[in-house]
Amino acid sequence: MAQVLNCEGNTDARLITVSLSEQSLALCEHDNPVGYSPVTTGRVALGDGTPLGTWHINSRETDRFLTGPDYRVFVNYWLPFVGDYGFHDSSWQDFAYGDTTAYKSRVSRGCIHVPRPEMDKLYQWVRIGTTVTIVP
């Protein structure tokens, strides 16, 4: 696991750390790593970057549509953490999760796309109130 996603020193019961530069996330229970996944974050080249900072999961939803001015997509899982930003599966994504170049101009409007098998696990593991930290 990359240094930026190290759980060492974490005091939260559950923490999701996302690295934009590495296009990955780590799940921590206190200072123990319990999961890892490649992800896709916001397309920064088009002004849709994923926000940096620390928030908390505020809802756990299933089988819903996410909508915006020019899109309407179905997701199996939705875990929002601030405004319209959250974690979700993305069956329409046509390049590898974790690709540290393609995400810059493709697909995400700022949400964090997680591969379906890992999203299944994330949804089961996360609780409302789980801390989310996003780093460059």
Q: Which of 135, 113, 109, 136 is nearest to 38 (CA)?
A: 113
Q: Which of 39, 14, 35, 34 is nearest to 24 (CA)?
A: 39
User: How confident is the model over 55-114, as pLDDT tens digits?
Assistant: 999 999 999 999 988 889 999 999 999 999 999 999 999 999 999 999 999 989 999 999
Q: Looking at residue 107, what is its pLDDT?
A: 85
Pick the catalytic residue from 7, 28, 111, 113: 111
**pTM, whole model, 2 decimals?**
0.94
How deeply is 50 buried, as exposed, middle or buried, from its count of CB atoms within 10 A (0-12, 13-18, 19+)?
buried
Identify the residue whose tokens are 């990955």. 24
Distance CA 76, CA 106 (A): 21
Catalytic status, residue 88: yes
pLDDT for the residue 4: 58
Q: Of 3.40.190.10, 3.30.479.30, 2.40.440.10, 3.40.30.10, which CATH number belongs to 9-135?
A: 2.40.440.10
Q: Is 113 an active-site residue? A: no
- Annotated catalytic residue, options 7, 28, 88, 113: 88
